[in-house]
Copies of this chain bind each other. A is one copy, B any other.
Amino acid sequence: MGLVEESIKPHERLSEHLADDLAAVNVLIRERMASKHAPRIPQVTAHLVEAGGKRLRPMLTLAAARLCNYDGPYHVHLAATVEFIHTATLLHDDVVDESGQRRGRPTANLLWDNKSSVLVGDYLFSRSFQLMVETGSLKVLDILANASATIAEGEVLQLTAAQDLATTEDIYMQVVRGKTAALFSAATKVGGVIANAPEAQVAALSTYGDALGISFQIVDDLLDYWGSGATGKNVGDDFRERKLTLPVIKAVAKANEEEHAFWVRAIEKGAQGGGDLDHALVLLKKHNAMEETRIEALSWAAKAKDALCVLPDAPIRHMLTDIADYVVERVN
């Protein structure tokens, strides 16, 4: 950074703008994750909920509601709902992937056990369900029920697509919609719905969340090869877990016979040796797969920004625009 002070990031600016709302969300989260009968629950969740996540998803809900001039109390419930669903998904992912690190800390799975991760995840889902029922909005419940189904379907699809070199970009996009974009999109949409915003604005918020989530996930998958201290992930985690993400799908599509044999061995058969990650990186570069992936992320970020034009021209809208830019700027 040298002598130039690093500028404040767009999600940090939004966080400051929504500081009071976010404080209320944090109070509600702590209150609702408590359990009178089962003290293990807050022990497991505190680890995740307090771990300094950026609270990006709940912020999107608060921002959407405020941008549509909501002045009731339920955007806070919905923001907490969204964070609980996200945390529950992480807990269930931890069981699933046997991944060793999440947000730079050991996963709940290693600190506790599979049982706790599954059941505490279920508990958070049920608490999120209670929170959304409290809003009394059937429209909100419908959106979140559909998002939940898309998320779960995407997770199962990812499971069956894993280690399968026949995975296409279409299947990858369905997985990304499920694992990331569905919750981003629901998060922004329910903010508009609870504010009783006009239909065109609600649709725009939904499109923004969807496109932002897709861009976010593509970049996340790219950084797994590109490298970044920002994610707390190690370069090559996805390679070692034999996940078919966009950079690899693009490189596989252009592989010659010898390269294809390499991918079959490393990804499908999982017979990985010492220099394999480096060789994978050489192939990704050779076929321009990382740059093409970055361009795809950029186009989704552009789509997210375009959607915002029907929303009120207020500071929050500009922050949402900047967040869409920042998501891809993480690649540097």
B123 contacts A41, CB within 8 Å? no
Question: Which of B37, B39, B145, B153 meets A35, CB within 8 Å?
Answer: B153
CA–CA, A127 to B120, complex, Å?
20
- Within A98-153, the residues touching B (CB, 8 Å) are 114-116, 118-120, 122-123, 125-127, 129-130, 133, 136, 138, 141-142, 144-146, 148-149, 151-153
Q: Is A314 an interface residue (CB 8 A)?
A: no
CA–CA, A157 to B116, complex, Å?
10
Task: Specify which of A92, A96, A127, A149 lies most central, judged by the most chain B CB atoms within 10 Å of its CB.
Answer: A149
Q: Is A38 an interface residue (CB 8 A)?
A: yes
Residue of B nearest to A128 (CB): B145
List the B side residues contacting A174 at CB < 8 Å: 37
Q: Is A160 an interface residue (CB 8 A)?
A: yes
B138 contacts A37, CB within 8 Å? no
List the B side residues contacting A38 at CB < 8 Å: 153, 156-157, 160
List the B side residues contacting A90 at CB < 8 Å: none
Residue of B nearest to A138 (CB): B136
B142 contacts A133, CB within 8 Å? yes
Residue of B nearest to A88 (CB): B122
The smallest beta-carbon distance between A72 and chain B, in angstroms, is: 17
Residue of B nearest to A141 (CB): B133
CA–CA, A193 to B160, complex, Å?
40
A123 contacts B35, CB within 8 Å? no
List the B side residues contacting A40 at CB < 8 Å: 156, 159-160
With A35-B153, A38-B156, A174-B37 as given contacts, are A145 and B126 in contact (CB-CB < 8 Å)?
A: yes
A148 contacts B160, CB within 8 Å? no
B125 contacts A152, CB within 8 Å? yes
CA–CA, A248 to B161, complex, Å?
46
CA–CA, A88 to B41, complex, Å?
20
- Give 25 CB contacts A-B under 8 Å: A35-B156, A37-B154, A41-B153, A92-B118, A92-B122, A95-B115, A95-B118, A96-B114, A96-B118, A115-B159, A119-B152, A123-B152, A123-B155, A125-B148, A126-B149, A127-B149, A129-B129, A129-B148, A130-B146, A130-B148, A130-B149, A133-B138, A133-B141, A133-B142, A138-B138
Other 9 A-B pairs with CB < 8 A, given A115-B159, A129-B148 = A35-B156, A38-B153, A41-B156, A92-B118, A92-B119, A116-B159, A126-B152, A130-B149, A138-B138
